[in-house]
Structure formats: structure tokens, C-alpha cells
Structure 1
């Protein structure tokens, strides 16, 4: 038995609420179960109950055992002084509050049907991947779609934290925030954190000033990544190295990079050299990128804006000093889709929040245009009958798996609660 199940039972009154009695055999009448805020302190705030003929207003605390009150040290915490009822699964000791007054106790297991306990046990019995894998496809479309919207905006809220932190660090410079986010996502999983640190190490005012000469931007990005630290005969490498030293002295910059960028296990088009060159060319082409990105409303507009390739040198190179067959290395549509998911949508969400505007429907419509992601989690959901037609749907499934299924939070999940109710 877990406390979250008891919270569920109390919150939705999934018990025989008409025949409740305290351990002292006094009749309990529930007027209001209280507000389930999931904050520190009692589990339910502002509840109203009657015990006998006396009406009480206050808070409800729920435990597996009565003695958990003392195990958790509630007798020393003033936040629990206004508890009017202690709801437990098992009663093993009397509980006393302030002024040494005994707190009434309700033993919930005496009023819960065996059927709902059986349904709960069935739901939380470990399966091969997630608890509800055999039944998730049975959830009605209305419930599932509503829950997906909630998951989507929960995910955006979490993704926005880095944006709000960057705003503080950059003195509310949205262009600088965008540069850091784009850099991180140009680096993908392997080089993302390294690219992010590079972007944070170069004041964006310098990026603005040097964006008119793309070689200078490449020199800064390659220099801060450590890719110019060796010695090579390559003419372009030498030119970038000279430019980098000049810019470091000009702006009195101190390089600091912790880890070398990674080439291993990357397809050549994802090599850090290629991605950094594309990033430099993006800022060379668009000096006021944030003002353009914040107004984008469709995938077609994004593809047009991000029609970016590397510099000329990288059309026949993937690494310095190693010539390869010529290829114009444009940002692929699949890569741009990742930028939409991980940069553009979160940025538009955070900006609208700061501006006090609501663009919820627009963001959903925008992401519904993006092709669904392909990964092991999405494939697994598909095997259970949950297919995805867009990136909006795949993003919600990733949030569901990581923040609910992996945390075994079935009773905080609309799907889990619906299955429990249906059973």
C-alpha cells in the first residue's frame, strides 16, 4: 500500500463515505475533502468535516500507519497544528496534537471495496515496460487528448527553466538567449553541453559585431571549441587561427572549455566542424534572428529561414586537412525539426509567458505540422497501439514515459486514474 493511493481514494471519495466513523466510534460527515496542493505540510488543505454534531474546518493528513505521524516529526511542526482528521490505512497508535489534544483518526481500509484495491494492485503490478501497457489503448480519445495537452505544457514549462535562467544571466537579452539555445541544440546530445558553454563564454555583443564577417564567427567558435589548438599546414586552418588570436586580444577574451568536442559515433554531417560552421553562417545571414524566429507560425516558414549551409571550405571537408568529395551541407529538414522542437517552440512559449500572452493553441498547431520523432520510446508506445502522427504527440509521450511511467506516478496520471475508475 502506498500513500499516493490513499490520496487518490480521499480526493475522489472512492470509499463508503456515508458510514464513516472515527476510531472512537464517532460519526464522520465529509462536507469538503479539501484542496490537494501537493505542497509541504498537510496533504489536504481547507477541508470541512463534521464529527458527531461538531463541524470542523482545517487540514487532513494521510498516512499508511498512524505512527507515521511521529516518524515524520509532525508533532514538532506548527504546519500540522490545524489537522482536524488523521486518515490512515492502519491504526497502530493514538496521535496527539498541540495542547496535548487527541487527533481523530479514520481507518480508511474499513470503507474501501475489495474491487478497487484489486484494480489498484493490477495497475501497479510490474509489466515488461510500463504498468498500463495492456490497457493504455483502451483510454477514450477525449481523456487521452486532454492529458496530452497537459503533458505538452508541463514539458514546455520544464524546458523553459533554462531560458529563464539565461535571461537572468544575459540581462534579459533574448538574442543572447537564443544564441545559447541554438548552440546547445546544434551540438545534439554528444556536443550539446560543450557548444552551450562555448556560446555562454562569448559575449553576444561580440557575435553581433563580428557577424558581418563569417570567418570571424567561425574563428571564435572553432577557437573556443579547441579545434584550432593543434598545428596544421591547411591554409584555412591557419587563417582561422590568426583571426582567433586577433579577436581574443581585441576583446580581451579568456577561453575556457572543459571537454574536447566529439567526432566519435557521429555521421559526418553531424561532425562538430560542420555544425559550428552552419551556426556561424546562420548568424552571418540573420543579424536579428530572434525577432524573426519569435514570429514564425509554420514549418514552411522555418525551413525558409533556416535554409543555411556551411562555408565554402566545408563543402569539400569534414575535418581540417582532410579533403572529401564536394557536397553542399545544408541543414536537413530532420535537423530543423529538432530545432523547432527543442529551441523555437520553447522560446516562443517562454517569450509569450513573459509578455503575458497566451499562444497555447498556436503552439500545438505549429508542432502538429512537424513530423513525429523516431526513437525507442515512441516505437514501444506504438507496439501498444498508441501511434503518433506529429511531433506534438511524440513530445507528450516522451513526457508521459519520463515523468510519470518511470516515476511510477500512475495515480497522478490521467491515464492511470481513468483505468482505475473504469475497472
Structure 2
């Protein structure tokens, strides 16, 4: 038995509410269960109850055992002085307020049906992957869609925290924030942190000034990745190296190399040399990228903005000194989809939130245009009958799995609650 099950029972009154009595034998009538805010302090605020002949307004605290009151140190916390009812599963000790009056106690297990407990235990029994894997496909479509929308914006709020941290660090410069975010996502999981370090090490004012000459941008990015700190006979390498150290001297920059970038296990088109060249060409092509990104509302327009490739040298190279067959190496639509999911949508959401604007429908509409992601989590949901037609749906499933299923948060999940209610 877990405390969140008791919260669920009280919040939705999933027990016999007609014959309630305190352990002191006073009848209880619930007028209002209170607000479940999940904040510090009592579990439910502003409840209204009639206990005996007295009407009470105040807070309700819930524990598995009465003695948990003392285990959690509530007797020392003034926030609990206004508790009008202590709801417990087992009563093992009396609890008193500071003025020595006893807090009324309701033993909830005496009023919960065996069927409800059975349903709860079945839901919470560890399954091979998620608790509701045998029932999730049966959830009402309307309930599922509403919950997916909630999950989508929860995920965006989580991603926005990183954006707000960058915004604070970069003196409220949204262009600089976007540059860091784009760089990080160009590096994917393997080189993301390295690319982010490179982007943060170069003041964006320098990127602005040098963006008209793509070789200078490549020099700054490849140099920051410590890919120019060697001796090679390659002419392009020598030119970038000269530019890099010239720019360091020109702008009085320190040689702050990022953690080593990785080539291992990457397909050649994802080599850091290729991705950094594409990033340089993107900022060479769009000097005011943020103002363009923030107003984009269709996938087609985003594809057009990110329709860039590498510099001529990299069309027949993946690494310095090693020629390869010529290839344009344009940014693929699949890669742009990842940028939409992990960069464009989050920064549009964060920017609109700070400005107090609501663009929820626009963001959902944009995500509905993006192809669904392919990974092990999405594939596993498919095996349970949950198929995704777009990135909006895959993002919600990732949020569901990572934040709810993995943490056994069934009673905070719209799907888990719906299953218990239906049973």
C-alpha cells in the first residue's frame, strides 16, 4: 500500500462516504475534500467537513499510519496546526495539536471495498514493462487524447527549464540561447554536450560579426572542438587553423577546448566535422535566425530555413586529409525533424510563455506535421496496440513512460486513474 493510493481514494471519494466515523466515533460528512496541490504542507487544502455537530473548514493530512505524523515531524511545523482531519490506513497512535486537542482520525481501510483494493494491487503489480500494458489500448479515446495533450506540455515545461537557465546565463540574449540550443542538438546525444560547450565559449556577438564569412565560423567551431590543434599538410586545414588563432587574438579569446568530440559509432554524415560545418553554414545563411525561427508555423517553412549543406571542402571529405566521393551532405529532413522537436518547439514555447502569450494550438498543429520518432520506447508501445502517427504522439508517449510509468506514478496518471475508475 502506498500513500498516493490514499490520496487518490480521498480526492475522488472512492470509498463508502455515507457511514463515515472518526476513531472517536463522531460521524463525518464530507462537503469538500479540499484542493490537492502537491506542495509543502498538508495534502489537501481548504476542505470542508461536518464532524459530529460541528462544521469545519481547514486542511486534511493523509498517512499510511497515524504515527507517520511524528515520523515526518509535523508536530514541529505550524503549517499543520490547521489540520481538521487525519486520514490514515492504520491508526496506531493519537495525534494532538499544540493546544492539546486531539485531531480527529478517519481509518480509511474500513470504508474501501475489497474490489477497489484488488484493482489497485493488480494495477501496481510489476509487469514486464508498464503496469497497464494489458489495458492501455482499451482506454477511451477522448480520455487518452486529453491526457496526451497534458503530457506534451509537461514535457515542454521540463525542456524549457534548460532554456531559461541559458537565458539567464547569456544575459537574456535569445539569439545566443538559440545558437547554443541548435549547437547542442546538432551534436545529438553523443556530442551534444561538447557542441554546447563550444557554442557557450564563443560570445554570440562574435558569431554575429563573423557570420558573413563561413570559413571564420568553421574555424571558430572546429577550433573550439580541438580539431585544429595539430600539424597537417591539408591546405584547408592550415587555412582554418590560421583563421582560428587569428580570431582568438583578434577577440582576446581563451583557448577553452570542449570535451573531446566523438567520431566512434557515428555514421559519417553525423561526424562532428560535418555537423559543425552545417552549423556554420546555417548561421552564414541566416544572420537573424531567432526572429525567423520564432515565427515559423509550418514544417515546410522550417525545412526551407534549414536547407543548408556543408562547405565545398566537406563535400568530398569527412575528416581532414582523407578524400571521399563527392556528396552535398545537406541536412536531411529526418534530422530537421529532430531539430523541430528538440529546439524549435521548445524555444517557441519558452519565448511565448515569458511574453504571456498562448500558442498551444500552433505548437500542437506543428508537431502533428512532423513524422513520428522511432526508438525502442515507441516500438514497445506499438506492441501494446498504441501506434503513433506523428511526433506529437511520440513525444507524449516518451513523457508518459519516463515520468510516470518508470516511477510507478499510476495514480497521478490520467490513464491509471481512468482504469481504476472504470473498474
Is the pair's TM-score, using the shorter chain for normalization, greater than 0.5? yes
CA RMSD in angstroms comes to 0.7
Gap runs ≥5 in structure 2: none
Distance 1:156 1:206, change over 3 A: same
Please, which moves more after superposition, 180-189 or 349-358?
Answer: 349-358
Tell me by how many angstroms 1:22 deviates: 0.5
Query: How many angstroms apart in 1 are the aligned matches of 2:61 and 2:258?
Result: 48
Query: How many angstroms apart in 2 are the aligned matches of 1:311 and 1:9?
Result: 62
Partner residue, 2:15: 15
Query: How many angstroms apart in 2 are the aligned matches of 1:33 and 1:272?
Result: 56
Residue 57 of structure 2 aligns to a residue in which SS?
Answer: strand
Query: How many angstroms apart in 2 are the aligned matches of 1:60 and 1:26?
Result: 16
Partner residue, 2:321: 321
Tell whether 2:245 aligns with 1:250. Answer: no
Query: How many angstroms apart in 2 are the aligned matches of 1:107 and 1:230?
Result: 74
Residue 119 of structure 1 aligns to a residue in which SS?
Answer: helix
Matches within 5 A, 1:230-249: 230-249=230-249
Matches within 5 A, 1:157-176: 157-176=157-176
Matched residue count:
423
CA offset digits 1:3-62 (Å, max 9, x no partner): 000000000000111110000111111111000000011000111111111111111000
Query: How many angstroms apart in 1 are the aligned matches of 2:179 and 2:393?
Result: 27
Tell me by how many angstroms 1:257 deviates: 2.9
Structure 1 runs (4+) greater than 2 angstroms displaced? none
Tell me by how many angstroms 1:258 deviates: 4.5
Query: How many angstroms apart in 2 are the aligned matches of 1:399 and 1:66?
Result: 35
Partner residue, 2:383: 383
Query: How many angstroms apart in 2 are the aligned matches of 1:188 and 1:6?
Result: 42
Partner residue, 1:410: 410
CA offset digits 1:305-338 (Å, max 9, x no partner): 1110000000000001111111110000100000
The answer to whether the Cα contact below 8 Å between 2:225 and 2:258 also exists between their aligned partners in 1 is no
Query: How many angstroms apart in 2 are the aligned matches of 1:35 and 1:255?
Result: 55
CA offset digits 1:86-110 (Å, max 9, x no partner): 0000001111111122111000000
Tell me by how many angstroms 1:165 deviates: 1.2
Tell me by how many angstroms 1:166 deviates: 1.4
Query: How many angstroms apart in 2 are the aligned matches of 1:25 and 1:51?
Result: 10
Partner residue, 2:31: 31
Partner residue, 2:68: 68
The answer to whether the Cα contact below 8 Å between 2:226 and 2:258 also exists between their aligned partners in 1 is no
Matches within 5 A, 1:328-339: 328-339=328-339
Partner residue, 1:399: 399
The answer to whether the Cα contact below 8 Å between 2:372 and 2:388 also exists between their aligned partners in 1 is yes
Query: How many angstroms apart in 1 are the aligned matches of 2:69 and 2:97?
Result: 10
The answer to whether the Cα contact below 8 Å between 2:74 and 2:80 also exists between their aligned partners in 1 is yes
The answer to whether the Cα contact below 8 Å between 2:147 and 2:414 also exists between their aligned partners in 1 is yes
Query: How many angstroms apart in 2 are the aligned matches of 1:321 and 1:98?
Result: 79
Partner residue, 2:292: 292
Partner residue, 1:87: 87
Partner residue, 1:340: 340
Gap runs ≥5 in structure 1: none
CA offset digits 1:264-316 (Å, max 9, x no partner): 00000000000000000000000011111111111111111111000000000
Residue 357 of structure 2 aligns to a residue in which SS?
Answer: coil
The answer to whether the Cα contact below 8 Å between 2:198 and 2:258 also exists between their aligned partners in 1 is no
Tell me by how many angstroms 1:354 deviates: 1.4
CA offset digits 1:241-276 (Å, max 9, x no partner): 110000001101112234200000000000000000
The answer to whether the Cα contact below 8 Å between 2:61 and 2:86 also exists between their aligned partners in 1 is yes
